[in-house]
Structure 1
Amino acid sequence: MLDNMPRGTIFIEDIEVGMTRSLRKVVTDEDIEMFAQVSTDHNPVHLDEAYAKDTIFGGRIAHGMLTAGLISAVIGEQLPGHGTIYMGQSLKFLGPVRPNDMVFAEVEVLSIDLTKRRVELDCRCIVDGKPVLKGQATVLAPSKKLD
């Protein structure tokens, strides 16, 4: 299940500090398996329940970068949206995301540099009211003005 705000573009000229956008997605077994195929990360903590039961997590977890990908989806589809270019991202993983968890991914505008078209974003993912990921992103936002 994917629940999100409308997709498209918010141009740098229309972005405001404090603006937020988000999505909600249930992370499925299929998502984890597809991410393993695409990334070539077949760590058994993600794919093998018997193996994962003996880890600190006590069971399978989603790849951290799969969760971080939800932040990328919000940035690339909503804020700023289509045409956005990633320049940098910091991430801190705070807790596991398990199969069938509903992840709430949100970005918030921290600052805007109109002359450089740069936007600093606070990024977070939450499961059951608990933060599982936080970080900041720097992006190059699309402009209404042609370069």
Structure 2
Amino acid sequence: MVYTIEELFIGQIARLQRTFSEADVRACNELTKDYSPVYRPSEENWENYYHQPIVPGLLTEGLINQVISDKLPGSACILLQKELIFYHPVFVGDVITAELEIIDINIERNWVTQKVTCYNEVGNEVIKGQAVIFLLSNKN
């Protein structure tokens, strides 16, 4: 569903879930040219960093952006601000849920502020923060 700013309300929640694969990590590494050993299971020394390869934060942030563009508001918007704290690493194979909740609406500016929470399949928060978006139009 696509929402106009008038249809949004404080407390409104949207979620998406995704499992990140080694192929996702490789594609992200190629696009960003970030080849840190924490992302590569084939490196002999990766076990010195974490007990398994981690997913780049950029991929999990992408899931947050997908919730905004596909669900809440699901309409044309521009990300104005995003503040995130990464509490725990996301590992390849983790099932990550990104949940966004509207906490403020500024109709005069067409701004919407959303609380961001991402958690893994066992319920551990991996990312927390907020995002402010600018809705480009009030029309469907």
Pick the TM interval, shorter chain.
over 0.9
Q: Deviations over 1:88-136 (max 9, x none)?
A: 0001000011111100111000000001000000001100200000110
TM-score by length of 1: 0.88
Length, aligned pairs only: 138
1:99 aligned to 2:99? no
Instruction: Measure how far apart 1:137 and its partner are.
Output: 0.4
* Structure 1 partner of 2:31: 38
Q: What percentage of aligned pairs have identical amino acids?
A: 29
Q: Report SS of the residue matched to 2:10.
A: coil
1:136 aligned to 2:116? no
Which one of 98, 107, 111 corresponds to residue 114 of structure 1? 107
TM-score by length of 2: 0.92
Q: Please say if residues 13 and 143 of structure 1, whose CA atoms lie closer than 8 Å, have aligned partners that are also in contact.
A: no
Q: How does 1:61-76 map to 2 (within 5 A)?
A: 61-76=54-69
Structure 1 unmatched ranges of 5 or more? 1-7
Structure 2 unmatched ranges of 5 or more? none
Instruction: Measure how far apart 1:82 and its partner are.
Output: 2.8
Q: What amino acid maps onto 1:133 in structure 2? A: I
Instruction: Measure how far apart 1:144 and its partner are.
Output: 2.9
Q: Report SS of the residue matched to 1:92.
A: strand
Q: Deviations over 1:74-97 (max 9, x none)?
A: 011111123011000001000011
